[in-house]
Chains A and B, each alone.
Chain A
Amino acid sequence: MTITRLTVSIDSLVCACTGYCVEVVPAVFDLTGTGPTVILDPHPSLDLLEDLREAENLCPTQAIQVEIREETGQED
């Protein structure tokens, strides 16, 4: 069967630690100390897609990437 899966990644080299993504989607991003931002959940629920898109757009260095992938496999 086909599963639609979100994959979130951060280019930690260009992350400027603005913390905006943490404000918008705290379940997925976290900022500890002086950074860079870490991903708490690289495959979050599809329900978060709109918020993740906003986090992507808010990032001034465009360090965040949100991909939607159709994957074939078993549900876990």
Chain B
Amino acid sequence: MRDERLGHEGTSLDPMTGPTVSQMPWLRSYHDVVGAFRSKAFIQGGGGRRDSAPITGYGVLALAGRDHFERRRIEAPLFRKDMLRWFERGVVAPALAARLAEVTGEGPVDLLPFLRDVFCDLTCSFWGIDGVDTQAARQRFLAVVDEMTLGGAVEWERGSHREIVSQSLVAQRRFTATYLRPAMQRREALIEAHAAGRLPESELPKDLLTLMLRNKEHFEKWDSEVYVRELTLFAPGDTIMRFVPHMVAEMHDWVSEHPEDRGRLEDLGFLRRCAMESLRLHPASPYFIRKAIEDTTLASGRSFSAGDYVVLDVTTASLDPEVFGPDADRFDPHRVPLHKIKPVALAFGEGPHTCIGAAMSVGEVSTQRPNPDDPLGLVPYTLRELFRAGVTPDAVSVRLNADNARNEFTAFPVQFDALRSVSTAGRS
């Protein structure tokens, strides 16, 4: 499947051969992992996600050097503050309010399908998929998306990677026929009308698909499947849905033990610190693969030869007591690391492949210039609304997913205590 035109700097897709993750050397200290993330001597080893290459192909994760920079440059407008404000206030806020309004207060609600449903609108708006606007349509859409994105993160699955990838390929074909092709046709017509002067710039959709179609010369030099593959990599709702339940669990325990902080659940700065501390303990991506493209030695003295693979163990590095203190494995939103590091630690990676959606998730990462008009961050915003609704986990029924290494839940039942009181009062 290799495209012969790919004479590009450092970008390559490796097949599912060579050493397995367990056969590679692992970097586990915070400074080693940061050093490797930042070093130009390492590239994303086969997209950093070698086994998922048939699903994500030459998506942004696989690219290196100039190719990668060009891709980020094209996609950056989607992450500007005006867009983040729109996703937050125009898409997620009404979806979350609508779903909370549907909660009857009778019995527990599983937070996973609840959030999956809330963030479906975000995924559609971000990607540029039209017409997914009823409950039944959302369920059909999410069923395909779930299968598709599973293969995009197959590295962390414990089952047969080949089997998962082959199911995801089928889902990608179904997605392309049902959702992607119609969305592309509509956008191509709009772009054509704009080029002919019949449609102003402001009337063009602002989504990933439109950006890609307006930069066809960049995307189509890779392969014909690049559109569905790039979308598979960018599923913002899917990622957020995985880590919010961890935050709810940690924060619920924290305020139970520290009632003086209960009043701060309205404080977005505090919620942001909670989100970052939880992401440190439960990173969305447990590890990454890198490949040395030249002989190199890290500051700690560990050396690698050109061609060596190495695993960057984000989970262990984020618990490094040298950096986070002797109680590094405990949730503490007031934690002050022993070294000067950024508040999000490794949650969004480091170096050229730093997650493009960091600010979308947690809002302003910098603490230097708080501005009330800045996006709040989808995660702090969601946490505030959930806690306003009195979210309380049912610890007995919470289940972790044993099928992968992502430390994610398969069930997370909660009660919305504040809504239950409202509902009960309404009946009396």
Residues of A close to B344: CB separation below 8 A: 14, 61
Question: B299 on the interface (CB 8 Å rule)?
Answer: yes
Whether a CB of chain A sits under 8 angstroms from the CB of B359 is yes
Question: Hey, which chain A residues are within 8 Å of B35, CB to CB?
Answer: 34
Give residues 23-75 of A contacting B (CB, 8 Å): 23, 34-35, 54, 57-58, 60-63, 65
**Chain B CB within 8 A of A8 CB:** no
User: Who on chain A is nearest to B358 by CB?
Assistant: A60
Name A16's contact: one of B77, B80, B299, B351 (CB within 8 Å). B351
A18 and B354 contacting across the interface, CB-CB below 8 Å: yes
In the bound assembly, the distance between CA atoms of A65 and B356 in angstroms comes to 18
B38 at the interface (CB under 8 A from A): yes
A1 beta carbon closer than 8 Å to chain B: no
**Consensus secondary structure, chain B interface:** loop
Q: How far is the CA of A19 from the CA of B68 in the complex (A)?
A: 12
A17-B38, A34-B35 known; A61-B342 Cβ under 8 A: yes
- Tell whether B321 is near chain A: CB-to-CB under 8 Å: no
Name the residue on A nearest B350 (C-beta): A16
Shortest Cβ gap from B235 to chain A (Å):
17
Query: Given A34-B35, A60-B355, A60-B359, does the pair A16, B73 have CB atoms closer than 8 Å?
Result: no
Residues of chain B within 8 A (CB-CB) of A35 are 38
- Kindly identify which residue among B342, B348, B354 contacts A13, using a CB–CB cutoff of 8 Å: B342
Please tell me if the beta carbons of A57 and B72 are within 8 angstroms of each other in the complex: no
Chain A: which residue is nearest B40 at the CB level?
Answer: A19
Closest Cβ of chain A: how far from B360's Cβ, in Å?
Answer: 9
Tell me which residues across on chain B come within 8 A of A14, comparing CB atoms: 342-344, 365-367
- On whether the beta carbons of A65 and B368 are closer than 8 Å, the reply is yes
Q: Does B279 make an interface contact (CB < 8 A)?
A: no
Contact with A along B33-58 (1 / 0, CB 8 A): 01100110000000000000000000
Query: With A60-B356, A60-B358 in contact, is A16–B369 under 8 Å at CB?
Result: no
Q: Tell me which of A15, A16, A18, A62 contacts B364 (CB under 8 A).
A: A62
Decide if B158 is an interface residue (CB 8 Å cutoff). Answer: no
Interface centre among A14, A20, A57, A60 (most CB of B within 10 A): A60
Task: Determine whether B86 belongs to the interface, using a CB cutoff of 8 Å to chain A.
Answer: no
The interface bits of chain B over 336-379 (1 if a CB of A lies within 8 angstroms of the residue's CB, else 0) are 00001111100011111011111100001111110000000000
How many residue pairs between the two chains, A and B, have CB atoms under 8 Å in the bound complex?
Answer: 75
**Is the beta-carbon distance between A63 and B366 smaller than 8 angstroms?**
yes
A20 to B76, CA, bound (A): 11
Known: A35-B38, A57-B80, A61-B342. A17 touches B350 (CB 8 A): yes
Once the chains bind, are B354 and A16 in contact (CB under 8 Å)? yes
B294–chain A nearest beta-carbon distance, Å: 15
Which B residues lie within 8 Å of A58 (CB)? 72-73, 76
A38 nearest CB across to chain B (Å): 14
Q: Are A61 and B354 in contact (CB under 8 A)?
A: yes
B26 close to chain A: CB less than 8 A: no
CB pair B365 A61 closer than 8 Å: yes
Q: How far is the CB of A36 from chain B (nearest CB, A)?
A: 9
Is B343 a contact partner of A16 (Cβ separation < 8 A)? no
Report the separation of the CA atoms of residues A54 and B75 in the bound assembly, to the nearest whole angstrom: 12
- Roughly how many angstroms separate A29 CA and B366 CA in the complex, as a whole number? 18
Which residues of A have CB within 8 Å of B409?
none
Q: Which of A16, A34, A65 lies at the interface centre, i.e. has the most chain B CB atoms within 10 A of its CB?
A: A16
B366 touches A17 (CB 8 A): no
List, in ascending order, chain B residues with CB within 8 A of A13's CB.
340-343, 366-367
- B175 interface residue per 8 A CB criterion: no
Q: Which residues of B contact A57 (CB under 8 A)?
A: 76-77, 79-80
Q: In the complex the two chains form, what is the Cα distance from A14 to B365 in whole Å?
A: 7
Instruction: Please give me the residue from chain B that is nearest to A23 by CB atom.
Output: B69
Chain B residue at smallest Cβ distance from A56: B80
* Bound CA span A54–B74, Å: 11
Q: 5 nearest interchain CB pairs?
A: A16-B354, A14-B342, A11-B366, A61-B365, A34-B38
Could you show 16 A-B contacts with beta carbons less than 8 Å apart? A13-B340, A13-B341, A13-B343, A14-B343, A14-B366, A16-B349, A18-B351, A20-B352, A34-B35, A34-B299, A54-B73, A60-B357, A61-B348, A61-B358, A61-B365, A62-B365
